Structures are given as structure tokens and as C-alpha cells.
Chain A
Amino acid sequence: MSNPPSPLPEDENPHVASWALPVAKLKTEDVPRGAVNLNVDGRRLAGPLKGFGQLWQKTYSVSLSGVKLTPADIVNAWKKNFGSFWPKYNRFYGSIIGIAPGEVALLNLAGPGGMLGPGGAPLVSTGVLVIYADDVSFSFMTPEGHMFAGMITFSAHADEADPVAQIQVLIRANDPIYELGCRLGVVHKTEDAHWHATLSNLAAHFGAPNAAVKQKNALVDPRMQWSEARNIWHNAALRTALYMPVTLVKKVFGR
């Protein structure tokens, strides 16, 4: 077996551009109509080390049987149509640039079972930062206040005859309230339903409407990080609920 080659100088390394630059606090440039920028601007990234609850790694995958596309073709289409694969009750507001390193997206999320607030208002408004993107994968990291502190990686690879699309999350509940929701099964169930629906929609887009989504869970760290309990201050669900009257007024007056 030969040794790997020596590292390239950074100005010659094509992978450098795949990563976002560090950010002290998130900043959105434009807020699309309908999005709520309540829990993103000014928030720090959380990441899987900064949350409160148990650390889970969950892998959702779907084999795209009969689809004759390369992993790069699949990821390219996934990036371009990312929000359209989500279930209708959750909304993804990406930047004009799309899925690219350093871009911030706003999210309007429903509750369990697709439940929305009065007038269709989201129950949680939050966001993500695209931290990494290459030809066959891209990753998000969540900010303070999001249900989960963690990373989400979307990828495609070739597995024997068929390509496979995969979502892998490495996440902790961000604060004690979300962790209680996880322990009661509500938050994880909602998360699982979201990504199952996303992969089913993706498979249908590529002509494999009956493809079954598989899921594997691994409990990486069963402990809670009590030093992070104060994350509750940024809880996006609570803040969205408090802001809901303003959301409704804006909706009524079309602003």
C-alpha cells in the first residue's frame, strides 16, 4: 500500500473553497417574504458540542433503484431544489446564491404532525448556516435556539448498482425544554418524519416514488451537558410563540 501524497499548499488545494469561513455571529442579507428572521441574526453557531441533551447520530437513506445518475448529479439537483423536497408544512428560505458555503437560510417550521399556528404561522422560526459543500455532499450547522445543536450532512454515493441519497445528523437537543420533548418522543419523531418525507420526495423527483427510507440511530453520548442548560434563553420555539401576534399582524397587513 502506498502512502498518501504530501498535502498541497493551501492556495493550490481545491477543497479550501468547500468550507465556509468562521463566523462570530450569523447575519442574513435579505429576508424573503414569508420568512421570519427572529432567531438567526446575531446568533452564534451551536454545533454538536454545544447543546444540552444526549448526542445522537441518525442516518436516513434511500436507495434510488433504477436511477441512472451519478452521486454528483443527484447532489447538484438536491442543492438546486432543496426546499422543494421538504414537506409542505415546513419552509426553507435559502439565499439567492443557494446552497453554498457561508450562506444562511431561514426556516419556518411546523410542530408535530405538521401543526401550524393561527393563520398558518410557523411554530418555530430558526435557520442554518451552510458550512460545507462539494460535488457529492453539503452540510449545515444550526444556531443557538434551534431545536438541535448539531450538524446535518446531505450526500449521495454509489452503492452497488443504485445510487443512494443520505442525510446524517449529529445532534443534541439544544436546551432542557427541547430535551424533554426528545425524551417524550415528540421532537425526535417530528425530526424523523421531516427527513423521511424529504427523502421520499427526493426519490419521487428522480423517478423512484416507492423507494423505502431506512433509518439507523446511534446514541453517541447518553449524558446531558448541564453547563449548557442556559441555552434555554435562546429557545426559538418560545421566542417564536411570543412573537406570533406580530407575525399575524404582518400577515394580515401583507408586510
Chain B
Amino acid sequence: MTPAKATLTVRSINNYASVVDIRGDITAAAESALSDAYTQATSAGARIIILNFSGLEYMNSSGIGLLVTLLVRANRQKQRLLACGLSDHYQQIFELTRLNEAISIYNSEAEALAAAG
């Protein structure tokens, strides 16, 4: 298995929201890192998880698959996934794969937090 080239950092914003800062590549190799970050983000009770893609370097179709499974996990636990910091290219990929219909996209973390209320 190719070693993960992603660094995921979790920041708790308040009692109901956490941010996952994503840097590097989201590919199949990032599966456990993404899952661990999500678990850490929700363990303190956060219901809103903001995925901050501003440090994303590369994502392939397996990475999109990881986001789909993460979204299913969030929906089952009645949590919301939001995204911010996506480049124009990756916004297009969300549109292509229709992820944008399930994960709301914001330009910045501040906008995502404001929308999360």
C-alpha cells in the first residue's frame, strides 16, 4: 500500500462544530487518516464537520469514494458535512460527481461556520 501523503488536523471550534484541515493528497491511501480525523472531530459531540480543502493538493476518484462513505457515515449519525476552501477545479469535480448536492460548499471557513449557525 502506498503511504498516505495527507496530513489531517482537527480543530474544535465550539461545542457543535469542528474543522478538519486537509493538506496533501486524498486518495485510497488516506482512508484511515480521514476516518480517524472524522472520529476525532465528532468524539467531543460536534454535529457539524467542516472539511477545509484549502491545502488539498490532489484528489483522485478513490478520494471521492472516501468522501461518499464519510458522508454516509455522517448522515447515519445525523451529522452535517460542509466543505470550504475547494479550488475551482475540485468544485467542478464535486459538481461532476454530484457531491455538491449533498455537501454544501463555501468559499471560506468563516462562511461555512456562519451558514452552520
Binding site for B on A (CB under 8 A): 3-8, 10, 13, 15-16, 18-23, 45, 47-50, 55, 57, 131-132, 134, 137, 139, 141, 151, 153, 155, 157, 168, 170, 220-221, 223
Residue of B nearest to A48 (CB): B68
The answer on a CB contact under 8 Å between A19 and B89 is yes
Binding site for A on B (CB under 8 A): 1-2, 5-7, 23-25, 55-58, 60-62, 64-65, 68-69, 71-72, 76, 87-89, 92-93, 95-99, 101-102
Q: A3-B7, A137-B60 are in contact. Are A47 and B98 (CB under 8 A)?
A: yes
The answer on a CB contact under 8 Å between B61 and A153 is yes
Give the residue of A4, A48, A131, A151 whose beta carbon is less than 8 angstroms from that of B25.
A4
Residues on the A chain within 8 Å of B102, using CB? 49
Residues on the A chain within 8 Å of B97, using CB? 45, 47, 131, 141, 151
Q: A4-B24, A137-B61 are in contact. Are A57 and B98 (CB under 8 A)?
A: no
Q: Give A65 to B58 CA distance when docked, in angstroms.
A: 31
Q: A4-B55, A132-B60 are in contact. Are A22 and B76 (CB under 8 A)?
A: no
Give the residue of A19, A22, A49, A137 whose beta carbon is less than 8 angstroms from that of B71.
A49
Q: Give A163 to B64 CA distance when docked, in angstroms.
A: 24
Residues on the B chain within 8 Å of A132, using CB? 60-61
Q: Give A153 to B5 CA distance when docked, in angstroms.
A: 20
B59 → A minimal CB distance (Å): 8
30 A-B pairs with CB atoms under 8 Å apart are A4-B5, A4-B6, A4-B23, A4-B55, A6-B55, A7-B87, A10-B88, A15-B60, A19-B93, A19-B96, A21-B96, A22-B95, A45-B96, A45-B97, A47-B98, A49-B102, A50-B98, A57-B65, A57-B69, A131-B96, A131-B97, A137-B61, A141-B97, A151-B64, A151-B68, A153-B61, A153-B65, A170-B68, A170-B69, A221-B76
Residues on the A chain within 8 Å of B72, using CB? 55, 220-221
Q: A49-B99, A50-B98 are in contact. Are A7 and B61 (CB under 8 A)?
A: no
Beyond the given A4-B23, A132-B60, could you list 18 further A-B residue pairs with CB under 8 A, ordered by the A residue number? A4-B24, A6-B55, A7-B55, A10-B88, A13-B58, A19-B92, A21-B96, A22-B92, A23-B96, A45-B96, A47-B98, A49-B102, A131-B61, A131-B97, A141-B96, A151-B64, A153-B65, A168-B62
Residues on the B chain within 8 Å of A220, using CB? 69, 72
The answer on a CB contact under 8 Å between B96 and A49 is no
Q: Give A45 to B71 CA distance when docked, in angstroms.
A: 19
The answer on a CB contact under 8 Å between A49 and B56 is no
Q: A7-B56, A22-B96, A137-B60 are in contact. Are A49 and B68 (CB under 8 A)?
A: yes
B22 → A minimal CB distance (Å): 10
Residues on the A chain within 8 Å of B96, using CB? 19-23, 45, 131, 141
Residues on the B chain within 8 Å of A13, using CB? 57-58, 89
Q: Give A47 to B88 CA distance when docked, in angstroms.
A: 21
Residues on the A chain within 8 Å of B65, using CB? 48, 57, 151, 153, 168, 170
Residue of B nearest to A223 (CB): B76
Residues on the B chain within 8 Å of A48, using CB? 65, 68
Give the residue of A10, A45, A57, A151 whose beta carbon is less than 8 angstroms from that of B61.
A151
Q: Give A4 to B88 CA distance when docked, in angstroms.
A: 21
